[in-house]
Structure 1
């Protein structure tokens, strides 16, 4: 028998924290604006298939405006991918009830840790669903503010087909959340943030679903809710509705009740980094911890990607999947090498980290496949906090605009470059607007992939 959401809420805290969850101690942070009025504790929830790490820049901006790090949490849903049919179990995928249960535990823990009676919740995409479920099913007294960023509140599609999908606007899950004259719960302040027409999951046409020319039944206004404050951020994409500086301004202003003092991230003198290594069993993205993984960190040249000296950090994960902490300078460009049994050795090249973070989570790159056959090296350009928009953005990969990024509504967050064996070992430059990362191309024959992972 399936438990109701109300039963789950009444049982909050009865279950232990999920493996790889949010409940790890954060590094102490120095608030950049001493004496700023305190805002409610804030819990951030990521989207479908994603990780808490996407909220890193948002947390840094909050800290730079005086919000103490220990008053914020970013949940890492154990199995972040949704089932095809919410009622039918799938390996390493979650139901709406699973997401609600984990969010319930996270809210209880944040309240316990801070002593606050109410918290603010911020969710991107699928992460907004358990927020709405929690509030609607009796949890509103715990939540002062709910910010829903690019959440497909009326579905990604509205079709008779696949009625069990949580993303179907005419399915039982969303009909239950949206029934009534108002689509919000009294007593909690609601804000929705959406794109004007660039959100790939709020499109009238079914192209993103593989059905071009077929109406989805969803409009550009799909994320808006009756009864909420509904804001349009402009030409931002689906992820940018949460992680873009424009989104940060509105999130902070809504929760704090005032404009942020700054949008820019204030650097710390000394930076400590740590995080989780997470698994992809059978190619399914999860946030389950990986034991026995090795993480090495090197300082690299910003111009060539070549290492400067030996490893500045080496660690091996235990059962909890944690790596670190590593101390770095906020001006250093870095290479992080992830090695774990049965996975592609992945070389992550990163821009400098201006502030500390304990959610620098790492997943191994995809296995080398048939499309990579004959390649001497494979390099990925990855943008976790947004998509590549052409012609909206400047996107240059190894000296040219990538051909595997589709123009128009931004839908692609990864571009792939394949080089010949003779080119293995040379530098590859990835440019996205004002961010520039130079990676080294590692030999594919050694089962290695390089990733230029953008922060912006």
Structure 2
């Protein structure tokens, strides 16, 4: 059994150089003895709802717009107009190891900046607004800063909120890999941080973890090139610390949402729960991989069948509630569901195994029910089960997780570092209960298939 780890992730880059260099850290934002702020102050300007800016959500490296599904629901549940909430999916979302030679299936930060600039213009044209707010997780925040400082975006942006963004890199390695955008001594980071870290006229907030961000850890003999807990902070910004949250949760957790909402509107949200709709309309895309690297490019020709299932057995309750074959954009269309229903999404792509995605309920409408088809080999008579949490990581030290009545194999103690785990099953097809921090479902094993237990929280 292996952890489900993306190729060339930040962690992989960091570990590749650990033990090779012990270097001085010269990052002003990473010093000590600075007061910790955990919530937005009460003195923020209070906006009239008619003046709420459009919001564009920007994902991190290797991720996709669907990571923001719950955050958008949070905003909608607090009367933020749904027609003013937008997301972007970068075509090739993964950061290259060397931005000077990115490779076919990667996009350097300047390439992402161009895509972001086009999306900002699209949102402003659609809404008629003069400025919008940008909210990001991880690498998405670097793209936002690049857009503001070098892409002419400052005049079009009112607020930026950066959750878990490696604003001072994830490593400090002088002399080598100058083209890596996460290297504090690389060209990108030095240019980005070589001037004022906050752009005048743009309200800026960062959100970081206290000690649980895998990419913002203290320097030690085991990690001699690490950046420190305060790496995501920016001089001149409102820098919040939300204790116990991991790298992704700094953007996707309800506690992070509460501070985002307050920073933009000037008032606390009425709720940090999702308010259900009576008849949510659910739609999304099938995307895939290229050269072993995840993309946000639609996969065509995928037969999609969607079934309502029993939450305690995973058994289908009847015929498919929706069937489609994806077109060139990867869209599988949409259907009207029930806010408390559990669904199984079956994807049959050409020349790949069958995929079964089991999901907890969709309480509100969304076009972000996206599924990524990762090429995997499944041995005859076996089932590959993927236990996954796209909006956060999993650790034995804080998370309660069970698969088939036992802790999920491969989950480590300490700082949460991994969001998905692969477990092989064999034997007759059967029901398998799965739970994570109070969110639960039951999946069904299907011989020769890849079965996902995907959690929303």
Shorter-chain TM-score bucket reads: 0.7 to 0.9
Name the counterpart of 1:338.
Answer: 347
**Kept after mapping to 2: 8 A contact 1:36/1:65:** no
Q: How far 1:115 sits from its partner (Å)?
A: 0.3
Structure 1 counterpart SS, 2:243: coil
Distance 2:231 2:445 in 1: 42
Partner of 1:146: 160
Corresponding residue to 2:123 among 110, 116, 126: 110
Call closer, same or farther: CA 1:317–1:185 in 2, change over 3 Å: same
**1:176 paired residue among 178, 184, 191:** 191
Q: Which runs of 5+ in 1 are unaligned?
A: 1-34, 207-211
Corresponding residue of 1:87: 100
Q: Measure the CA separation in 2 of the matches of 1:264 and 1:367.
A: 36
Distance 1:65 1:242 in 2: 17
Alignment match, 2:17: none
SS in 1 for 2:297: coil
The partner residue of 2:177 within 162, 185, 197 is 162
Q: Would the aligned equivalents of 1:344 and 1:365 in 2 still touch at CA under 8 Å?
A: no
Q: Decide whether aligned partners of structure 1 residues 238 and 365 sit closer, same or farther in structure 2, where only a CA change above 3 A counts.
A: same
1:365-398 CA-to-partner distances (Å, cap 9, x unmatched) read 4402xxx657622211100000012220111111
Correspondence for 2:12: none
State how far apart, in whole Å, the 2-side matches of 1:48 and 1:228 are.
Answer: 23
The 8 Å contact of residues 380 and 447 in structure 2, kept in 1 or not, is answered as: no
Structure 1 residue 352 displacement after superposition? 0.8
- For residues 354-373 of structure 1, the aligned pairs below 5 Å read 354-368=363-377, 373=379
Q: Scaled by the length of structure 1, what TM-score is found? A: 0.87
Offset of residue 294 of structure 1:
1.4
RMSD: 1.5
CA–CA distance in structure 2, aligned partners of residues 275 and 141 of structure 1: 32
Say whether the 8 Å CA contact 1:276–1:323 is kept in structure 2. Answer: yes
Counterpart Cα distance in 1 of 2:139 and 2:407:
31
CA distance in 1, matches of 2:283, 2:292: 24
**Alpha-carbon spacing, 1:365–1:89, altered in 2? closer, same or farther (3 Å):** closer
Distance in 1 between the 2:114 and 2:160 partners? Answer: 18
Measure the CA separation in 1 of the matches of 2:387 and 2:226.
33
2: CA distance, partners of 1:57 / 1:344 = 29
Structure with greater contact order relative to length (CA < 8 Å, sep ≥ 6):
2
Alignment of 1:11-410 (within 5 A): 36-137=49-150, 138-160=152-174, 161-180=176-195, 182-205=196-219, 213-368=222-377, 373=379, 376-410=382-416
Offset of 1:37 from its aligned partner?
4.9
Q: Secondary structure at the match of 1:44?
A: strand
Shift of 1:70: 1.4
In structure 2, do the counterparts of structure 1 residues 105 and 312 end up closer, same or farther at CA, with 3 Å as the change threshold?
same
Q: Distance between the aligned counterparts of 1:148 and 1:198, measured in 2?
A: 16
SS of 2:324 mapped into structure 1: strand
Q: TM-score, normalised by structure 2?
A: 0.87
Is this contact kept in 2: 1:345–1:364, CA < 8 A?
Answer: no
How many residues align structurally? 408
SS at match of 2:56: strand
Stretches (4+) displaced over 4 A: 35-38, 372-375
Matched, 1:436 2:440: yes
Matched residue of 1:175: which SS?
Answer: helix
| Structure 2 unmatched runs, 5+ | 1-47
Separation (CA, whole Å) in 1 of partners of 2:153 and 2:420:
38
Asked if structure 2 preserves the Cα contact closer than 8 Å seen for 1:395 and 1:431, the reply is yes
* Aligned equivalent of 1:32: none
